[in-house]
Amino acid sequence: MSGSLLELIEQSEIIQALNMEFAAVRDRGDLQKVLAEKLNGLVDFHSHFIELINPDESSVSMFLDDIPLETDDATYRERLTNKGLMNNETVSKILNAKEPVVEDVTQVLSHDGNTRISHQTSIKRLIWSKLSISDKAIGIWGISQLDNQYATTSHLRLIRQIASMLSIAVNSILANEEINRREEEKSKILSFSNAIASASDKYTLGKIIGQQLDNLFNIHEYCIYIISRDEKWRWAYLFDRDTAIAKYPDFKDLIELPQDNNDELYQVAKNATDVLLLTAEEYYQLPGTAPYREMGDAINFRGWGCHTIRLAQEDVAVLTFNHNDMKPQLGLFKSICSQLAITASNLLSRDELERRENEKTILLSLSTEIASLKSRVDLFKVVNAKIKDIFSVTQFGIVKVDEDGMTHSAFMMDLGLSETDQSDFERLTKLKYSVADYLQFGTQSAFGKFFRKQTGLSPKSYRQKP
């Protein structure tokens, strides 16, 4: 039996054994272990790494590497851990090749201007293999070799076969990681829901939401603005009142008054198609943000973000937040925002129910008190004790239409005047005013004609009507 045939049989047995090992792989740790234990005896190499094509299909990111600990050069590690663009010559060559690609490392790295790496790591060549599933490229497997290490034709054939099995193993790991990610997200969302459900009031709820956003996404200050039904205004509704920014005077002024949705900052948030994340300097470039620089400097402001919170395809609120390098979990963040939408909607509904119940209680109380009135003095007491407080007014008056139907005069007036103004007060209450003027008719005659047309009677006849 020839040597080449024996070599093929031996490689076939190796592939079968590796195939069983790869089939048992469940995570990156398992894969790293298999490659470390099995690959080193098959191919003479220094280190290896796997880069996967990102969803944008324009860049690759590190999936797994076996860089020796002594290789601590910062530039080398940065090259292997940061995103790399796919539009360079080397990557295009690898993805279009059917066989492993052998490259001199000096030539490869010279494309990026990092030729010094080869001198510091002693790496001389790289062997690249495309990873693919059903003819669709999913990544790249790279093997590095030192000056005294070589890959024969037989080695390259073995590497190509291993790359096929490695593609399946990597794809399986990605599927497992996606399942685990979703389960983890479910767990975090459930934990978030339970946490906010435990809040007994808006103050506590605002604090809990702040703690959760900080733990999950590195968000330090936030504010949820409710959007009015006509979408013309927004007002601060939920925030953590114990954070540094909440105690800053400018922030207090910002949250106490409704904000016009016609401002350019809101339009930026509304028009963003996804979660908007900006650095501090990018934020200060937005229209209308310059006055907040002093406040931002005081709280070590480093980044700003916003996201429109929607419920049933309707914009109900805007979440704005400050962050220090927000953790890249945008899927989870959007799910949390959906929870916040439901929470805000429930709170608003509860507030509306409480408002209506308060109105009923107030009206019932007023009805009882008004029914027992005997004089203007009694009415004056009710006005001062209840009505002025309910409507936050300082002046109050009731006018009555006089018997002639053409004029009206004061029935009761509380102008909040001091005793020194008493003479003016008495003069005002004794004056008679034209009903036509009050209703903004030009003359009494015009008012009379309008009234007759509507009722068939003159104002005086209408008043005398039994």
Q: What digits encode the pLDDT tens for the residues 164-207?
A: 999 999 999 999 999 998 898 899 999 999 999 888 888 899 99
| Intrachain domains 3-179 and 198-345 with the same fold | yes
Q: What digits encode the pLDDT tens for the residues 369-413?
A: 888 888 777 777 777 777 777 777 777 777 777 776 666 666 766
Q: Residue 138: which pLDDT band, with cuts at 50, 70 and 90?
A: very high
How many angstroms from the chain centroid is the CA of residue 238?
Answer: 14
Contacts for 121 with CB less than 8 Å, ≥ 6 apart: 71, 73, 76
Q: Is the pLDDT of residue 457 over 60?
A: yes
**Mean pLDDT estimate for the chain:** 77
Residue among 443, 441, 415 nearest 428 (CA)? 415
Please state, in angstroms and rounded to a whole number, the distance separating the CA atoms of residues 251 and 259: 13
Give pLDDT, residue 4. 55
Which structure tokens are listed for 40? 């080193």
CATH class as words, domain 3-179: alpha beta
Q: What digits encode the pLDDT tens for the residues 295-319?
A: 788 778 888 888 988 887 888 889 9
Q: What digits encode the pLDDT tens for the residues 81-118?
A: 555 565 677 788 888 888 998 887 766 555 444 444 44
Give pLDDT, residue 132. 93
End-to-end CA distance of the chain: 129
Q: For the chain, state the CA radius of gyration.
A: 38
Instruction: Give 342's DSSP letter.
Output: H
Could you tell me the residue ranges of all domains in the chain?
3-179, 198-345, 373-464
The one-letter code for the residue type at 132 is S
Please state, in angstroms and rounded to a whole number, the distance separating the CA atoms of residues 42 and 452: 109
Give pLDDT, residue 173. 93
Please state, in angstroms and rounded to a whole number, the distance separating the CA atoms of residues 225 and 348: 12
Give pLDDT, residue 117. 45
Q: What digits encode the pLDDT tens for the residues 345-369?
A: 888 888 889 888 988 888 888 888 8
Give pLDDT, residue 207. 92
Please state, in angstroms and rounded to a whole number, the distance separating the CA atoms of residues 212 and 196: 9
Sign of CA dihedral 184, 186, 192, 194: negative
Q: Residue 2: which pLDDT band, with cuts at 50, 70 and 90?
A: very low
CA angle 204, 210, 215 (to 5 degrees): 130
Please state, in angstroms and rounded to a whole number, the distance separating the CA atoms of residues 331 and 325: 16
The one-letter code for the residue type at 435 is V
Sign of CA dihedral 384, 387, 389, 392: negative
Contacts for 65 with CB less than 8 Å, ≥ 6 apart: 47, 48, 49, 50, 80
Answer whether 104's CB lies under 8 Å from 127's CB: no
Question: For tokens 């916003």, what's the residue?
Answer: 306
CATH topology of domain 198-345: Beta-Lactamase (3.30.450)
Beta sheet of 396-401, edge-to-edge order: 396-401, 407-414, 432-434
Please state, in angstroms and rounded to a whole number, the distance separating the CA atoms of residues 114 and 298: 41
Q: What digits encode the pLDDT tens for the residues 11-69?
A: 677 778 788 888 888 999 899 888 888 776 677 777 888 989 888 788 888 888 876 54
Average pLDDT over residues 326-337: 83
210 class by beta-carbon count within 10 Å (0-12 exposed, 13-18 middle, 19+ buried): buried
299 class by beta-carbon count within 10 Å (0-12 exposed, 13-18 middle, 19+ buried): middle
Give pLDDT, residue 9. 57
Give pLDDT, residue 421. 46
Q: Is the pLDDT of residue 80 over 60?
A: no
Please state, in angstroms and rounded to a whole number, the distance separating the CA atoms of residues 160 and 43: 12
Residue among 286, 285, 284 nearest 295 (CA)? 284
Give pLDDT, residue 111. 47
Please state, in angstroms and rounded to a whole number, the distance separating the CA atoms of residues 262 and 264: 6
Q: What digits encode the pLDDT tens for the residues 415-448?
A: 555 444 445 555 555 555 555 555 555 566 666 6
Q: Is the pLDDT of residue 226 over 70?
A: yes
CA distance to 54, 173, 230, per residue, from 134 (Å): 17, 17, 52
Answer whether 224's CB lies under 8 Å from 239's CB: yes
How many C-beta atoms surround the C-beta of residue 59 within 10 A?
Answer: 17
